[in-house]
């Protein structure tokens, strides 16, 4: 609990408050009485404020959302690097080629197959980024013009075109060409195929060259590589793929140092929300969902039949370029009536484990090859947790360590005696028992801050019928700064703070923790200090 950490500031304040005073002509004993700080703390300070919300009745809810799995377009479809070799070499004899004419056998049109895994059959794609790499080699005595056209790969209505003059003797000359932003039809020359890119190549002698004769083993070669292709958009049939959600975990960050005895909740739910931004139907299976409390080394497996077979419809398209899809969302509500969610959450997990599987197009090609997907979209699975804080427990305990090194602070020797005073007005329906343990450099306990039993903050006055707080209760606590305790503080390397909150006993009906409950603290100092001449 955060307020107990304020004590460390008081200790530092004690030994530094007079360090800036002017020099005295003689030694003085000075009484210092001063308030240090005031703080009003809510139940939110026990954990993290972002984990809580309150309903119209003022009841607090432990409420948060966690993304537990997700994948994007590259997990669904990957356009492979594709390499093609084109060229011409004269096998024997000679061949006269007048300037301005194409080499025999050109121009030629071919379909380039893209071997896409997973049974994916693409008809259309828009390239977000990618390039052509061409390695040219010309063994003819004259320059050659290499002309490449992708007739069904267009940008602003114009096809992708390369027109490159390859000088003679240019062996392994490398060129790169950007194809980002081009729309590609992969339906072949007949426009009814799949995964086929149409490419036309012409190789000719430029009109400015000399008339010459091509001899045996002379010619031109082009090694063409379609590389690093990342689509912005793909369309077709994406096959019946199985995508595993590997075993993984997600942190809840409820509290890493919270201990609870006999914790029980009244009700709760987890909404597992699957958000599908792909234009495909999917089937999701979530398994091996465990709540893990690493502090207690306990784990509880969630048993909820509704998570084993979840069908989610495909997303739809919008006309908004910056937000091109409207997702399909499927929510599976798991509550204390249809599962073992009660013990699952009563385990107070600090993280959840999970795994599962996504099946793409479980019913086959029912879209008539109109599946689609955009870059930066995907399938994401969230767990939305809501637990009203209407609870039962014996106690809560928070344990944490703070590094407070006072070994080199000389002013401790000048404190004669005194107290740190903690004035508490408690509006919660439970007592708070506070303690801080002074640890030396071996992390061994050498002293405690509070004296027992003078370390209890009394709970507020409660209605015996409803267990709601009627009025807060005032308590004053002291940390006595004796010579022995001051000497132990000089050895202090850490302070371990323990805050224990005892609920009323014997166990009452459920206690409601309201957003209006708070603990008002005033921290003060009352010491006698010997001010020495410099």
More confident residue, 496 or 445: 445
Q: Is the pLDDT of residue 161 over 90?
A: yes
Query: pLDDT tens across 320-369, in order?
Result: 888 999 999 999 999 999 999 999 999 988 889 999 999 999 999 999 99
Residue 456: per-residue pLDDT? 93
Q: What is the mean pLDDT of the segment spanning 219-241?
A: 91
Using alpha carbons, select from 77, 76, 364 the residue that is nearest to residue 243. 76
Using alpha carbons, select from 261, 210, 218 the residue that is nearest to residue 95. 218
Q: Which helix (H) or strand (E) holds 15?
A: helix 6-16
Tell me if residue 465 falls in helix, strand or coil: coil
How far from 181 is each of 76, 147, 159, CA to CA, in Å? Answer: 21, 21, 12
Confidence band (pLDDT; 50, 70, 90) for 199?
A: very high
CA distance 144 to 2: 78
Question: Of 174-178, 474-478, 488-492, which gets the smallest average pLDDT?
Answer: 488-492
How many residues does the structure list for the chain? 534
Confidence band (pLDDT; 50, 70, 90) for 404?
A: confident
Residue 503: per-residue pLDDT? 85
Residue 103: per-residue pLDDT? 84
Q: Is the pLDDT of residue 24 over 50?
A: no
Q: What is the mean pLDDT of the segment spanning 447-457?
A: 88
Tell me 314's DSSP state.
P
Q: What is the mean pLDDT of the segment spanning 295-318?
A: 93
Residue 240: per-residue pLDDT? 94
Q: Which residues of 265-296 are buried (b: 16+ CB within 10 A; e: fewer)?
A: bbebbbebbbbbbbbbbbbbebeebbbbbeee
CA distance 531 to 21: 9
Residue 173: per-residue pLDDT? 84
Confidence band (pLDDT; 50, 70, 90) for 85?
A: confident
- Percentage of the chain modeled with pLDDT above 70: 88
Residue 213: per-residue pLDDT? 85
CA distance 464 to 11: 40
More confident residue, 17 or 193: 193
Domain positions in the chain are 2-59+393-531, 61-72+244-388, 78-237
Confidence band (pLDDT; 50, 70, 90) for 223?
A: confident
Q: Is the dihedral of CA 443, 445, 449, 450 positive or negative?
A: positive
Query: pLDDT tens across 41-72, in order?
Result: 777 766 666 678 889 999 999 888 889 888 88
Question: Of 164-168, 231-235, 283-287, which gets the smallest average pLDDT?
Answer: 164-168
Residue 458: per-residue pLDDT? 94
Q: What is the mean pLDDT of the segment spanning 196-218?
A: 88
Residue 303: per-residue pLDDT? 95
Q: What phi and psi values does residue 344 have, to the nearest 5 degrees?
A: -60, -45
Contact call for residues 98 and 211 (beta carbons, < 8 A): yes
Q: Is the pLDDT of residue 133 over 50?
A: yes
How far from 201 is each of 109, 148, 150, 494, CA to CA, in Å? Answer: 6, 5, 9, 76
Q: What phi and psi values does residue 508 have, to the nearest 5 degrees?
A: -85, 180
Residue 32: per-residue pLDDT? 58
Q: Is the pLDDT of residue 33 over 70?
A: no
Q: What phi and psi values does residue 483 have, to the nearest 5 degrees?
A: -60, -40
Neighbouring-strand partners of residue 403: 494
Residue 19: per-residue pLDDT? 39
Residue 294: per-residue pLDDT? 87
Q: What is the mean pLDDT of the segment spanning 424-439?
A: 89
Q: What phi and psi values does residue 13 have, to the nearest 5 degrees?
A: -65, -40
Mean pLDDT rounded to a whole number for the chain? 85
CA distance 263 to 235: 52
Q: Which helix (H) or strand (E) holds 85?
A: strand 82-89
**C-beta neighbour count of 369 within 10 angstroms:** 14
Q: What is the mean pLDDT of the segment spanning 94-103?
A: 86
Q: Is the pLDDT of residue 484 over 50?
A: yes
Q: Is the pLDDT of residue 319 over 60?
A: yes
Long-range contacts of 18-21 (CB under 8 A, 24+ apart): 18/411, 18/414, 18/529, 18/531, 19/411, 21/531
Contact call for residues 275 and 329 (beta carbons, < 8 A): yes
CA distance 57 to 43: 16
Q: What phi and psi values does residue 381 have, to the nearest 5 degrees?
A: -120, 130
Q: What phi and psi values does residue 485 have, to the nearest 5 degrees?
A: -70, -35
Tell me if residue 122 falls in helix, strand or coil: strand
**C-beta neighbour count of 99 within 10 angstroms:** 14
Highest mean pLDDT among 1-10, 77-86, 149-158, 509-518: 149-158
CA 100 to mean position of chain CA atoms: 61
Confidence band (pLDDT; 50, 70, 90) for 176?
A: very high
Cis peptide before 453 (omega within 30 of 0): yes
DSSP-assigned letters across all residues of 219-278: EEEEEEEEEEEEEEEEEEE--S-EEEEEEEEEE--S-SSEEEES-EES--EEEEEEEE-S
Confidence band (pLDDT; 50, 70, 90) for 168?
A: confident
Residue 256: per-residue pLDDT? 65
Residue 483: per-residue pLDDT? 86
Question: Of 78-82, 280-284, 455-459, which gets the smallest average pLDDT?
Answer: 78-82
CA distance 157 to 56: 58
Using alpha carbons, select from 7, 39, 52, 1 the residue that is nearest to residue 500. 1
**C-beta neighbour count of 381 within 10 angstroms:** 23
How far from 410 is each of 66, 176, 488, CA to CA, in Å? Answer: 49, 71, 13
More confident residue, 354 or 36: 354
């Amino acid at each position: 609990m955060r307020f107990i950490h304020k004590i460390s500031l008081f200790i530092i304040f004690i030994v530094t408050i007079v360090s800036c005073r002017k020099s005295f002509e003689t030694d003085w004993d000075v009484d210092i009485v001063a308030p240090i700080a005031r703080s009003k703390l809510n139940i939110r300070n026990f954990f993290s404020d972002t984990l809580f919300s309150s309903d119209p009745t003022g009841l607090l809810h432990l409420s948060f959302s966690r993304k537990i799995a997700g994948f994007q377009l590259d997990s669904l479809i990957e356009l492979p690097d594709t390499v093609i070799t084109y060229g011409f070499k004269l096998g024997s004899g000679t061949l006269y080629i007048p300037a301005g004419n194409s080499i025999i056998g050109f121009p030629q049109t071919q379909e380039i197959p893209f071997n896409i895994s997973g049974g994916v059959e693409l008809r259309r794609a828009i390239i977000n980024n990618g390039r052509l790499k061409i390695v040219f080699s010309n063994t003819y005595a004259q320059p050659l013009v290499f002309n490449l056209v992708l007739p069904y790969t267009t940008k602003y209505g114009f096809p992708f075109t390369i027109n490159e003059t390859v000088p003679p003797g240019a062996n392994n000359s490398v060129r790169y060409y950007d194809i980002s932003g081009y729309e590609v039809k992969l339906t072949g020359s007949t426009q009814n195929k799949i995964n086929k890119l149409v490419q036309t190549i012409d190789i000719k002698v430029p009109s400015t060259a000399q008339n010459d004769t091509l001899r045996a083993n002379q010619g031109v070669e082009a090694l063409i590589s379609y590389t690093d292709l990342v689509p912005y958009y793909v369309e077709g049939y994406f096959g019946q793929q199985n995508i595993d959600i590997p075993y993984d975990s997600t942190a809840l960050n409820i509290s890493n140092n919270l201990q609870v005895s006999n914790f029980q909740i009244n009700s709760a739910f987890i909404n597992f929300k699957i958000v599908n931004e792909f234009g495909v139907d999917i089937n999701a299976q979530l398994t091996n969902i465990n709540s893990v409390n690493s502090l207690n080394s306990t784990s509880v497996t969630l048993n909820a039949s509704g998570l084993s077979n979840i069908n989610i419809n495909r997303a739809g398209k919008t006309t908004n370029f910056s937000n091109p899809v409207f997702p399909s969302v499927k929510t599976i509500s798991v509550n204390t009536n249809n599962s073992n969610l009660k013990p699952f959450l009563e385990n107070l997990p600090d993280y959840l484990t999970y795994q599962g599987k996504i099946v793409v197009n479980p019913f086959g090609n029912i879209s008539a090859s109109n599946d689609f997907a955009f870059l930066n979209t995907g399938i994401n699975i969230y767990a939305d947790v809501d637990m009203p804080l209407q609870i039962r427990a014996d106690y809560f305990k928070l344990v944490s360590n703070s590094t407070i090194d006072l070994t080199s602070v000389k002013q401790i020797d000048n404190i004669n005696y005194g107290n740190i005073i903690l004035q508490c007005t408690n509006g919660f329906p439970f007592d708070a028992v506070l303690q801080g343990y002074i640890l030396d450099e071996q992390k061994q306990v050498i002293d405690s801050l509070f004296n027992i039993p003078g370390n209890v903050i009394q709970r507020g006055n409660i209605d015996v019928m409803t267990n709601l707080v009627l009025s807060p209760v005032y308590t004053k606590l002291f940390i006595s700064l004796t010579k022995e305790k001051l000497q132990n503080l000089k050895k202090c390397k850490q302070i371990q703070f323990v805050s224990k909150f005892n609920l009323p006993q014997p166990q009452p009906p459920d206690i409601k923790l309201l957003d209006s409950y708070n603990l008002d603290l005033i921290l003060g100092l009352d010491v006698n200090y010997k001010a020495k001449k410099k």
